[in-house]
């Protein structure tokens, strides 16, 4: 076990889905995995391991923001041997043609800073998804008939941002959506030579100010989890 993950050796699968909310991890494990077993509850950040169509999968909460995700992703990769990490979470749309409940596959993620910024000093490193995962997720989404968008997103290090000027420029330059974790996940995956992807459900819209009602979230998030699982094992 590590400082933040209480799983024993062998209890974490090589494929890990990472929702931010630990209770979303619990819901996803109970809904999609066979024989799901609680393998981590340290600090209330729940993790479960089970199987999906005969493939071993762990669903581990990552918390909110890049510093929190960085802790869990580092330990999953370095100490437990995770090889494929897929962020599954919500995002806010930044383009008018994207609708609430649509899925966004993050090809790349812009950011102001991540916990890894110090590694690069003056270099503006461009974090990108694993292309094999990205292509497989896109195929899975099309097969399900889920409206899906592929492109660049923005990983913010703050939730309550007050930069309308920055939002305006991102919208102008075609950034699809904003969330809080993907950029650091992609950087860590590149550093350690593993695969990573962010599959995101649009839960609210920065332009239209629409939001996904709570009673419709599970069904929409279910599409996202299903797409991520198909991508991981295609």
Instruction: Consult the annotation and say whether 181 binds a ligand.
Output: yes
How many angstroms separate the CA atoms of 224 and 209, rounded? 22
179 is in an annotated binding site: yes
Is 223 a catalytic site residue? no
90 a known binding residue?
Answer: yes
Residue 24 annotated in ligand binding: yes
* Separation of alpha carbons 194 and 188, rounded Å: 8
What residues form DSSP beta bridges with 89?
200
Q: Cα(95)–Cα(127) distance, rounded to whole angstroms?
A: 21
How far apart, in whole angstroms, are the C-alpha atoms of residue 171 and residue 180?
Answer: 17
Count of other CB atoms within 10 angstroms of residue 232: 25
How many whole angstroms separate alpha carbon 50 and alpha carbon 62? 18
Residue 180 annotated as binding? Answer: yes
- Contact at 8 Å (CB) between 61 and 24? yes
CA dist 199 and 185 (Å) reads 12
Flag whether 204 is marked binding.
yes
DSSP string over 71-85 = HHHHHHHHHH---EE
The three-state secondary structure class of 89 is: strand
Which token pair is 88?
């599954």
43 is in an annotated binding site: yes
Catalytic residue among 167, 204, 215, 223: 204
Q: Has 122 been labeled as part of a binding site?
A: no
How far is 191 from 70, CA to CA, in rounded Å? 12
Known binding-site residues for a purine D-ribonucleoside equal 4, 179-181, 203-204
Task: List active site positions.
Answer: 204
Known binding-site residues equal 4, 20, 24, 43, 87-90, 179-181, 203-204
Known binding-site residues for phosphate equal 20, 24, 43, 87-90
């Amino acid at each position: 076990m590590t400082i933040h993950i209480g799983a024993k050796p062998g209890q974490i699968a090589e494929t890990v889905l990472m929702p931010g909310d630990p209770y979303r991890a619990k819901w996803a494990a109970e809904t999609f995995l066979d024989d799901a077993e609680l393998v981590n509850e340290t600090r209330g950040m729940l993790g479960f391991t089970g199987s999906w169509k005969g493939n071993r999968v762990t669903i581990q909460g990552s918390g909110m923001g890049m510093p929190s995700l960085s802790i869990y992703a580092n330990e999953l990769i370095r100490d437990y041997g995770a090889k494929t990490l897929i962020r599954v979470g919500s995002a806010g749309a930044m383009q008018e043609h994207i609708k609430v409940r649509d899925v966004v596959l993050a090809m790349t993620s812009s950011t102001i800073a991540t916990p890894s910024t110090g590694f690069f000093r003056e270099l503006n490193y461009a974090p990108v998804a694993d292309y094999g995962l990205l292509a497989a997720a896109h195929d899975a989404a099309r097969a399900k008939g889920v409206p899906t968008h592929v492109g660049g997103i923005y990983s913010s290090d703050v939730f309550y941002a007050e930069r309308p000027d920055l939002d305006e420029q991102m919208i102008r330059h075609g950034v699809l959506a904003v969330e809080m974790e993907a950029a650091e996940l992609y950087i860590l995956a590149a550093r350690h030579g593993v695969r990573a992807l962010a599959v995101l459900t649009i839960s609210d819209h920065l332009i239209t100010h629409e939001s996904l009602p709570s009673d419709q979230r599970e069904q929409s998030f279910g599409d996202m989890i299903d797409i991520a699982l198909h991508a991981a094992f295609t």
